[in-house]
């Protein structure tokens, strides 16, 4: 019998001591990344100009458990363990006998799961003597998380924010500035590729691909700088596994030894991998049989509509080639509000797990996502991020499909807070949100 609690917040000494590396448990190994020019499997040396060795080692590691450095765990204590809630009022609103739980990453600094990886990334860069981090950001969540982490370790953060987002979402660049990070609108005058793009397309509103090119250009030319990525790569998903590990422990405190369904939103894949990989471990070991569903936006349906093949991580073809579900590196998603999910590909590890049948996927249009988000907000008092609404919509579908009297355990990964997404809610409530 489950407890009558609403929420479980573990004590600080229950913050995971290790990140979980799913590669160690995969029966078939995932395909390696390839050098963009030679087509050969990538070596650590190929990555050295862009990343510090600590992260490169994690990227290629096959060890099951990688110890979280004490300095990183110390910073995690500012907000971790994050709470797991029983969504009792959402269950009532849905009239379901299913038991719904949600893991909430929105109470972190910057309001999303992104800080789980920005902090170790900044740490390993500091350790390697780098003084400057460059990155790109679309919706701004990753940029804010990196600014916070850079501040902690005394590094400079230079963030190229897609121009349309920079101009349309001033709260996000304000948040980066509070944490001491500097966001510039991309394409910018600060890089050769930026100046070229501005000359070619004077009216461009920018794109993630352009912003990546600028951030990579600066990091590649400056020996004191590293490039940081907020999703897709193995080491980023590795860092996020604190989410799923905590969730498993918290379900035990709720006296729910088994979950039946897990829903998480998926863009680049770091939120999904972070919560799902520890559950996949349980499934592979035969201890649980959790049905895991990636909830992607219908506007960027890489898993449900893409091809599983090698492709570039960016539009310009500057990155290594990754074996992943992709809509093509030149795919431009419709402008949906879940900016954090507008990516043409899917993390290679998530893609591999999907290909092997360890998780399934659904694509959700944004009106259904926001309908679920408003229902959730009114019931639970927490306004979820646009991205998280896709996971909630998946869980709502499942709860509605549950026959009366049946009591499956449904877990939702709520990756972030929607306080800075409020204009999107306004558009939804006005009835004018395009249903893409």
Contact residues toward a copy of itself (CB under 8 A) are 5-7, 9, 12, 77-79, 89, 107-111, 115, 148, 151, 170-171, 174-175, 177-180, 374, 377-378, 380-383, 417, 419-420, 422-423, 425-426, 429
Residue-wise burial string across 328-359, b where 16 or more C-beta atoms lie within 10 A, e elsewhere: ebebebeebbbbbbbbbbbbbbbbbbbbeebb
Per the structure block, which two tokens stand in for 403?
């026959």
Tell the smallest beta-carbon distance from residue 406 to a copy of itself (Å): 25
By beta-carbon proximity to a copy of itself, the closer residue of 92 and 289 is 92
Q: Which of 219, 136, 218 is nearest to 181 (CA)?
A: 136
By beta-carbon proximity to a copy of itself, the closer residue of 126 and 281 is 126
By beta-carbon proximity to a copy of itself, the closer residue of 76 and 261 is 76
Per the structure block, which two tokens stand in for 120?
């170790």
By beta-carbon proximity to a copy of itself, the closer residue of 401 and 422 is 422
Tell the smallest beta-carbon distance from residue 180 to a copy of itself (Å): 6
By beta-carbon proximity to a copy of itself, the closer residue of 58 and 173 is 173
By beta-carbon proximity to a copy of itself, the closer residue of 230 and 345 is 230
Tell the smallest beta-carbon distance from residue 137 to a copy of itself (Å): 16
Tell the smallest beta-carbon distance from residue 178 to a copy of itself (Å): 5
By beta-carbon proximity to a copy of itself, the closer residue of 46 and 380 is 380
Tell the smallest beta-carbon distance from residue 54 to a copy of itself (Å): 22
By beta-carbon proximity to a copy of itself, the closer residue of 110 and 324 is 110
By beta-carbon proximity to a copy of itself, the closer residue of 111 and 394 is 111
By beta-carbon proximity to a copy of itself, the closer residue of 73 and 352 is 73
End-to-end, the C-alpha distance of the chain in Å comes to 41
Question: Using an 8 Å Cβ cutoff, are 388 and 415 in contact?
Answer: yes
Per the structure block, which two tokens stand in for 388?
């998280």
């Amino acid at each position: 019998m489950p407890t009558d609690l609403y929420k479980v917040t573990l004590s600080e000494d229950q913050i995971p001591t290790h990140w979980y590396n799913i590669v160690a448990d995969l029966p078939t190994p995932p395909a390696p990344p390839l050098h963009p020019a030679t087509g050969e499997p990538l070596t650590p040396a190929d990555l050295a100009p862009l990343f510090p060795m600590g992260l490169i080692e994690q990227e290629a590691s096959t060890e099951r458990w990688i110890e979280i450095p004490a300095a990183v765990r110390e910073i995690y204590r500012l907000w971790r363990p994050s709470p797991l809630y029983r969504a009792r009022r959402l269950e009532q609103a849905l009239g379901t006998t299913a038991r719904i739980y949600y893991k909430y990453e929105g109470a972190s600094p910057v309001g999303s799961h992104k800080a789980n990886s920005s902090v170790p990334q900044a740490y390993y860069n500091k350790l390697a003597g780098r003084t400057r981090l460059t990155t790109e950001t679309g919706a701004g969540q990753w940029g804010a998380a990196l600014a916070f982490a850079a501040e902690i370790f005394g590094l400079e953060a230079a963030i190229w924010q897609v121009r349309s987002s920079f101009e349309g979402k001033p709260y996000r660049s304000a948040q980066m500035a509070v944490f001491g990070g500097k966001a510039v609108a991309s394409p910018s005058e600060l890089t050769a590729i930026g100046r070229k793009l501005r000359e070619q397309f004077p009216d461009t509103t920018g794109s993630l691909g352009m912003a990546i090119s600028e951030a990579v250009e600066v990091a590649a030319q400056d020996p004191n700088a590293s490039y940081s990525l907020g999703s897709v790569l193995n080491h980023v998903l590795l860092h996020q596994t604190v989410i799923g590990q905590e969730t498993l422990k918290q379900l035990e405190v709720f006296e729910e030894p088994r979950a039946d369904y897990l829903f998480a939103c998926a863009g680049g894949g770091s939120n999904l991998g972070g919560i799902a990989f520890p559950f996949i471990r349980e499934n592979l070991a035969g201890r649980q049989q959790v049905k895991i569903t990636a909830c992607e936006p219908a506007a960027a349906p890489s898993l449900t509509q893409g091809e599983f093949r090698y492709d570039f991580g960016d539009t310009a073809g500057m990155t290594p080639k990754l074996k992943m579900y992709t809509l093509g590196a030149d795919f431009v998603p419709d402008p949906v509000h879940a900016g954090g999910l507008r990516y043409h590909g899917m993390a290679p590890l998530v893609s591999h797990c999907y290909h092997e049948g360890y998780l399934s996927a659904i694509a959700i249009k944004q009106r259904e996502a926001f309908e679920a988000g408003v229902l959730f907000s009114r019931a639970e008092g927490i306004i979820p991020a646009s991205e998280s609404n896709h996971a909630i919509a998946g869980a709502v579908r499942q709860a509605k499909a549950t026959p009366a009297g049946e009591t499956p355990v449904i877990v939702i990964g709520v990756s972030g807070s929607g306080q800075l997404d409020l204009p999107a809610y306004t558009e939804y409530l006005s009835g004018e949100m395009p249903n893409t």
